[in-house]
Structure 1
Amino acid sequence: MLKMMTYFQGFSGHQSVPVTVDFPRSPPKLPSTSEAESETSMSEASSEDLVPPLEAGAALYREEEKAAKKKEKKKSKGLASVFSVFTKGKKKKGQPSSAEPEGAAGSRQGLDGPLPTVEELKAALERGRLEAARPLLALERELAAAAAGGASAEELVRRQSKVEALYELLRDQVLGVLRRPLEAAPERLRQALAVVAEQEREDRQAAAAAGPGTSALATTRPRRWLQLWRCGVAEAAEERMGGRPAEGAEVPESVFLHMGRTMKEDLEAVVERLKPLFPAEFGVVAAYAESYHQHFAAHVAATAQFELCERDTYMLLVWVQNLYPNDILNSPKLAGELQGVGLGSLLPPKQIRLLEATFLSNEAANVKELMTRALELEAQRWAQDMPPQRLDGHCHSELAIDIIQIISQAQVKAESITLDLGSQIRQVLLVELLAFLRSYQHDFNEFLERGKKLRSYRANVIANINNCLSFRTSMEQNWQVPQDTLSLLLGPLAELKSHGFSTLLQSLCEDLKPLFKRFSHTRWAVPMETLEKIIATVGVRLPEFSELQDCFREELVEAVHLHLVKEYIIQLSKRRLVLKTAEQQQQLAGHILANADAIQHFCTEHGSHATWLQPALPTLAEIIRLQDPSAIKIEVATYATSYPDFSKGHLSAILAIKGNLSNSDVKSIRSILDVSTGVQEPSRPLFSLIKVG
């Protein structure tokens, strides 16, 4: 009756399709140093505009590479010799590579051959030649040396503006590659990463060498390109995660599903394709994971601020407590990589507890409403005299199945968030289930009183008794609760079943009542003939109960068994039969034994397992047969052990049959019950059902 929502199909056990992280199409605007000053100075040195195109990429690089081949022969030998140092990562003997350790570049005073001109570096960078980073760094160091050598302030400012304009061009080229790393060729990506790493080393060296003093040079270090890269990663994550999942699909679960899939698939691509290329100092997996996590957490926090409906409260908890930590962070491909990142939860613990409390309250109200509605529909069927279904030859009602499903689905729903929340809702559901069972018992009792004239009355009574089996089985097998709690839940069902049995047996008991009275009227002259009529009457009526579940049919036969024994004892206790001689008493005892055997055989044959009733009549027969008061005392003491509710009043009624006992003997025999009275309560009542005068 409750339908569970699946918000994240495909995370667990799905066949993943290789995904390319689709980074945004344009890089963010990057900060520059002294932009206005740089542009002014560069315009003085050259008529060419040194501000690079923001979208210079791999395609442009390849096209310009072809055109550059014709011109390179005309270039200065200095530029050619400089670029030869970086070609394909090769190095001449004694020359450091692009991945030199920190300080190695600074230890070398210059590059082989003269440095290229500003125009040459600009042209190389515009063609995407990241190899120009090293001579640009050398140019920057020459500038620092000129400042230390006493060059004029005007000259220093002019030269620095040219260097900074080239660095802006290099920065945009490098970060452009890193912003779309999966679109770049691996070798070009390595070059861009090497440039950033080199700039980071230069930042550290500049910070270590900084000291007091003044210079006309503007402060340009640290450039913090690694930090700029991380900012770009954050913007890329925001753009990827913020995309619409589908045309018009803006419901919260669709948005969360889109973000979850995007994060999982993008991080898997980072682990598989980027991590092998990125130096460890970049922490590429952590950088992307933290950026995606921060965006996801911000969206969840914003959603949680609204007044949430029940569906959205559940959806938030499923994502925060289950899908995100289990299906994303701890997925097979990401668990090991994210173990040390420490992303944490999408929501703070306090807010999670509030959402869980709201969820439990919502579920309790829903469960109560659904169970109440199910009971109302069942009661309407009773009132409208609708016969129950027949299933496997038994009267069947869907009520128990509906209630069990309502409870079970609420339990599963909570466990789909966390097992701990499943444990919490169990207590809530037990309270609601107990309240329902009491309402069920009350409504059923009203039906028993008001519906006696309905044609389907007995069939509906049987169907609701059969319901008790489904309830009991479900509680015992699926609900691991303490025995006292289980007894509390089963109490209303036991009362419902007992009242139902009484209703079903009422007409049979009325038919048997005049037959039992014959024992007194005939002064027990022909007890076997009377008992045979009683048993025959019961045998004719037993098929009426065949539509009960087998276990309940056996219980009902046990109730018949108890009724036969009880009514037989009642007739013996009427004090209308007084036998003066031992022979008469022995004859009566023989009749009682024969009747007891007939009753036991008949009831056992029809499914009664009430073995506890077996000694009830034979022992009374033995008390009647015995003549020695001491022997009678022993028999009475044993009998009181088997039937703790056997009282002095019951004993006196039986002893009244023995007309040859003196008052002192009767008093002495009765005293034996003083020892055992109140020792224990009967687990099954017999004599407490028998009133004696």
Structure 2
Amino acid sequence: MAVESPCNKDRPNTSLTAKFPKFGKKLFKKAVKTRKNNIQPVEISLTFKQNLKEQHFAAAGKQLINREERLFSVKQNGVGFNRKLVEEEEDDEENLKKDFEDLFEQVWSTVDNSFQVQTEAEIEALRQAVIVIQKEEEQDRRWEGYLEKERPQWRPRCCRDLHDSRLQNMVKQRMEEAKLDSDINLKSSVQKEITRKAKQLRKDLLHVAKYVKQCYPGENVCLQYAKLYHQEFSAKLKEITDYGLNDDDCLHVLLWVNTHYPRIMNCKELDGVIKYEQLEALLPENLLEPLEDQFLTQKENELRAWCKNILKREKSGTELRDGCYFSPLAIDVIQCVHGALKSLKEVLGSRAKPQKITQQMKEFLRDYQNFLKKVIVDNEGNTEAVLKANLCCIRQLLEYIISTENQELLHVHIKNDCVTLLASIREHCQRYFTKCIHNDLKGKYAKLGTREWLKNSDHVCEELLVGVDTHIQKITNLDKACQKELVSQLHKEVLTEYVRKMMKKKIKLGDGNKQDQAAKALHDNSQKIHTYFTEAGSNLNDLKDILPRLAELLTLKDPQCIELQLVTLSRSYPDFSEAHVCAWLYLKADLSNPELKKIKKTFSEFREPSENEGQNQDPLYSCSNFFSKVFVK
């Protein structure tokens, strides 16, 4: 039983002029005449060869498929033993085969010229060629299941595979033959090789997106081309990295892998047609990681050398600008560090490893700390000038590290360590100026927490502040912001010394009247101290609450209320310890030993644990570490 043909359509109409020459000429003349009279002309079907000549590939392909189906319908139904029909059938099959060859000669030539397509006619020709390929794929599927002798010898034609193979060869050839613009000045052969291929890749993909994409209805040909170019570019990079690279070539490869190449694939012209995340990595991990480590090591060494040179220059001295001592150290360091970190982010993309490079910042700050300590120990003639200039540098470095703009550049642990280091360096420098003040005020501090203070606290406090003011007036040639910081630090230190002297256990407040009197003195002194330092430039507004809150402990009578107040105090000041509790409650001589024991036990159980400074908080302006500076026995 003969197998039924996939399709049994009538043979397409042949040209009227070919069948009936005289009649065709008359019809043509009539058509011209009717066109002149604005009458719709009669549509005349073109022959296969005419369609082929006019590059109507889709129409020509349809004609051949119709002939194929009619021919093989006859073949399957059988021709019997009629030799004439057999010969006609064989002649038709050979003619059909030849016509298919002629069609695909032009189809493949058109596909091969995809990168020359620009005009409307060229775009239409390529679109027609693609339709032929798509229809041929459909025809291959319609012949599936038929025996080899029952189907055309050219089925399956596998046009899609041939098309994809031609594209791959075409891409490979274009990448191999890519040229580098003469105005691009690159010395390294590696950089030239990468750049010329990358430029060709970009140029061709943009051409595909602009001209070729519209010729492939229902297909994402841009992604297909992108994968082919990606494959070629990746193969070249792998080949290059196999031989090892110097630092400049290493940088060039990383820039293309992590910055330039993703930028090409994600540009607006290719947006929506190429999904970069669907492409495999240009370089596998085993090749990429050594390059990253090489680049990181190079940047690390560069940054270390830069910072050492900056510190070396600092030893040569400072200068006076606009009445203030100045040093370019901070500006230079920030530029070096920020430049290195930005370079890391750009070159390594999201794979940046800031822990390693920012470690150099910590190392520099340790060297910086040692340098300033030596300046203080040597105490040469320019010590004060150097420290004043570097207080400004410390402030600039701290502002840079704490800045929210650098959240992504600095690793959080390194950042916190740097903040702590800088706070320590600043405090050490400030102590150079405040130490002499505290030494001069020893006699005045000694009166705090004594019977004399209890009797005449206003005078004792006033005397203390007059002594402080005398020294503050002598501080000159210091940046205004740094002077405010120095005053703020002195504010904290004076109040710290005040509380420490109160905890020296010099007096006992045995009755409620004395406790109320002491509490009032603490409130009054707190107001005077805070007012003076605020007017002098201190920004530590939270310090105003410390003495009043301690004073409240003296006025409370109920041990449970004292316990609650102490726990509340510890939440505001996590470093408020049991030793501080004992020293302060010593003033309340009316508490029994069992009551003191219970209060201390409750405090130990419910006090908040000490926490680290917030990463965006300058330690100078935090009061949570106040009591850690109040040393008690």
**Deviation by residue 1:670-690 (Cα, 9 ceiling, x = unmatched):** 664333336348944559745
Q: 1:387 to 1:522 in 2, by over 3 A?
A: farther
**Deviation by residue 1:499-527 (Cα, 9 ceiling, x = unmatched):** 22212211222222345568899977987
Q: 1:582 to 1:256 in 2, by over 3 A?
A: closer
Equivalent position SS for 1:614: helix
> Counterpart of 1:307?
244
> Counterpart of 2:175?
241
Structure 2 Cα separation of the partners of residues 280 and 527 of structure 1: 91
Q: 1:84 to 1:317 in 2, by over 3 A?
A: same
**Is the 8 Å Cα contact of residues 569 and 617 (structure 1) preserved in structure 2?**
no
More moved, 579-588 vs 231-240: 579-588
**Is the 8 Å Cα contact of residues 367 and 406 (structure 1) preserved in structure 2?**
no
**Deviation by residue 1:199-255 (Cα, 9 ceiling, x = unmatched):** 99999989967449xxxxxx9998888766655544443343232212375654454
> Counterpart of 1:297?
234
> Of 421, 425, 440, which residue of structure 2 is paired with 1:496?
425
**Is the 8 Å Cα contact of residues 244 and 255 (structure 1) preserved in structure 2?**
no
1:372 aligns with 2:304: yes
Structure 2 Cα separation of the partners of residues 556 and 379 of structure 1: 24
Offset at residue 373 of structure 1 (A) = 3.3
Structure 1 Cα separation of the partners of residues 272 and 449 of structure 2: 88
Offset at residue 437 of structure 1 (A) = 3.9
Structure 2 Cα separation of the partners of residues 189 and 632 of structure 1: 95
Q: 1:274 to 1:584 in 2, by over 3 A?
A: closer
**Is the 8 Å Cα contact of residues 399 and 467 (structure 1) preserved in structure 2?**
no
Structure 1 Cα separation of the partners of residues 104 and 451 of structure 2: 120
Q: 1:346 to 1:486 in 2, by over 3 A?
A: closer
Offset at residue 308 of structure 1 (A) = 2.4
**Is the 8 Å Cα contact of residues 395 and 482 (structure 2) preserved in structure 1?**
yes
- 1:173-572 aligned at under 5 Å gives the runs 178-180=111-113, 182=116, 186=122, 210-211=148-149, 232-242=166-176, 243-247=178-182, 249=186, 251-274=189-212, 288-289=225-226, 291-325=228-262, 327-328=264-265, 330-338=266-274, 344-345=279-280, 347=282, 351-387=283-319, 397-416=327-346, 420-422=350-352, 425-429=353-357, 431-455=359-383, 456-474=385-403, 478-479=407-408, 487-516=416-445, 532-543=462-473, 553-565=483-495, 567=497
RMSD value over aligned CA atoms?
5.9
**Is the 8 Å Cα contact of residues 102 and 201 (structure 1) preserved in structure 2?**
no
Offset at residue 495 of structure 1 (A) = 1.7
Offset at residue 613 of structure 1 (A) = 3.9
**Deviation by residue 1:286-337 (Cα, 9 ceiling, x = unmatched):** 7755543443232222223221234444443443455445523x54444555
Q: 1:355 to 1:431 in 2, by over 3 A?
A: farther
Structure 2 Cα separation of the partners of residues 566 and 265 of structure 1: 70
> Counterpart of 1:137?
none
**Is the 8 Å Cα contact of residues 322 and 416 (structure 1) preserved in structure 2?**
yes
Structure 1 Cα separation of the partners of residues 448 and 217 of structure 2: 105
- 1:15-164 aligned at under 5 Å gives the runs 85-86=47-48, 88-89=50-51, 98-100=60-62, 103-106=65-68
The one-letter code sitting in structure 2 at the alignment partner of 1:542 is I
**Deviation by residue 1:366-413 (Cα, 9 ceiling, x = unmatched):** 4543443344234324422223766xx876554444554555445544
Structure 2 Cα separation of the partners of residues 389 and 595 of structure 1: 39
> What residue ranges of structure 1 are gaps of 5+ in the alignment?
1-76, 111-141, 152-159, 213-218, 624-629, 656-665
Equivalent position SS for 1:603: helix
The one-letter code sitting in structure 1 at the alignment partner of 2:597 is D
Length, aligned pairs only: 534
Q: 1:305 to 1:211 in 2, by over 3 A?
A: same
Q: 1:319 to 1:600 in 2, by over 3 A?
A: closer
The one-letter code sitting in structure 2 at the alignment partner of 1:473 is I
> What is the percent sequence identity of the aligned residues?
19
For the pair shown, the structure with the greater C-alpha radius of gyration is 1
The one-letter code sitting in structure 1 at the alignment partner of 2:311 is A
Structure 2 Cα separation of the partners of residues 143 and 443 of structure 1: 110
The one-letter code sitting in structure 2 at the alignment partner of 1:373 is A
The one-letter code sitting in structure 2 at the alignment partner of 1:513 is K
> Counterpart of 1:676?
599
**Is the 8 Å Cα contact of residues 519 and 530 (structure 1) preserved in structure 2?**
yes
Q: 1:649 to 1:532 in 2, by over 3 A?
A: closer
Q: 1:103 to 1:143 in 2, by over 3 A?
A: farther
Q: 1:538 to 1:616 in 2, by over 3 A?
A: farther
**Deviation by residue 1:434-487 (Cα, 9 ceiling, x = unmatched):** 454444434433333235542523323422442353145326862599988764
TM-score, normalised with respect to structure 2: 0.62
**Is the 8 Å Cα contact of residues 203 and 224 (structure 1) preserved in structure 2?**
yes
Q: 1:486 to 1:675 in 2, by over 3 A?
A: farther
Q: 1:148 to 1:597 in 2, by over 3 A?
A: closer
> What residue ranges of structure 2 are gaps of 5+ in the alignment?
1-20, 26-44, 73-82, 570-575, 611-623
Equivalent position SS for 2:244: coil
Q: 1:435 to 1:589 in 2, by over 3 A?
A: closer
**Is the 8 Å Cα contact of residues 394 and 547 (structure 1) preserved in structure 2?**
yes
Structure 1 Cα separation of the partners of residues 330 and 268 of structure 2: 42
Offset at residue 538 of structure 1 (A) = 1.8
Structure 2 Cα separation of the partners of residues 226 and 566 of structure 1: 84
> Counterpart of 2:532?
602
Offset at residue 415 of structure 1 (A) = 4.4
**Deviation by residue 1:600-626 (Cα, 9 ceiling, x = unmatched):** 442343244221343389679x78xxx
**Is the 8 Å Cα contact of residues 190 and 277 (structure 1) preserved in structure 2?**
yes
Structure 2 Cα separation of the partners of residues 334 and 143 of structure 1: 59
TM-score, normalised with respect to structure 1: 0.58
